[in-house]
Amino acid sequence: MVATPDDGKRDPGQPDGVEAAVAAAALRLMAGAVPKPALERLRTAAMATGADYPWEATTRAILAAPVEPQRLVQQGLIAQRDWILRGGRENPKPGIGRKAKGLLARLCAQFVFGALFAIVLVTGLVAARYKWPAVDIYVAVGWLDAAVTWCRQTFAG
């Protein structure tokens, strides 16, 4: 039988047992050996305390639950391997679905903005034509054509 790092002699209140107790608690957390209800109670307690994290009480609560030593070590080694293969802490990246939704949202927003801009521009030009009939609203087409021609000559080589 494999001995666990928290063989019952570790107490986070004792100076020489702090490191071993925290390490044993971390092993249990990493191995997923802390029951979900206990983990939820600890999370609630940690959120309620704010800046003063109750690490001693949390460590004691984690170490209080009975575990099967062989299973704990096995799960801990699996978690350790996964940690190393992942390259450290898990920082979930957005999935392909979320990226696609974001791209679609940006494209829709750009389309709506462009359509509204075009409507306002055309309305403004038509209003200018009615207000001042001598104004040539099509002069901008000539400017745009000249700009496109200049860009082609300059950047095309």
Q: Per-domain residue ranges for the chain?
A: 15-86, 96-155
Are the beta carbons of 36 and 9 closer than 8 angstroms?
no
- Looking at residue 10, what is its pLDDT? 53
- Looking at residue 157, what is its pLDDT? 64
- Looking at residue 1, what is its pLDDT? 30
pTM (2 d.p.): 0.47
**Cα–Cα distance for residue pair 55/22, rounded to 1 Å:** 9
- Looking at residue 103, what is its pLDDT? 94
Are the beta carbons of 9 and 44 closer than 8 angstroms?
no
Query: 15: which 2 tokens?
Result: 């100076």
Per-residue pLDDT of the chain (157 residues; tens, 9 = 90+): 333 444 444 555 566 678 888 888 888 888 888 888 888 888 888 888 877 888 888 888 888 888 888 888 888 888 888 888 877 776 677 788 888 999 999 999 999 999 999 999 989 988 988 998 888 888 888 898 999 999 999 998 6
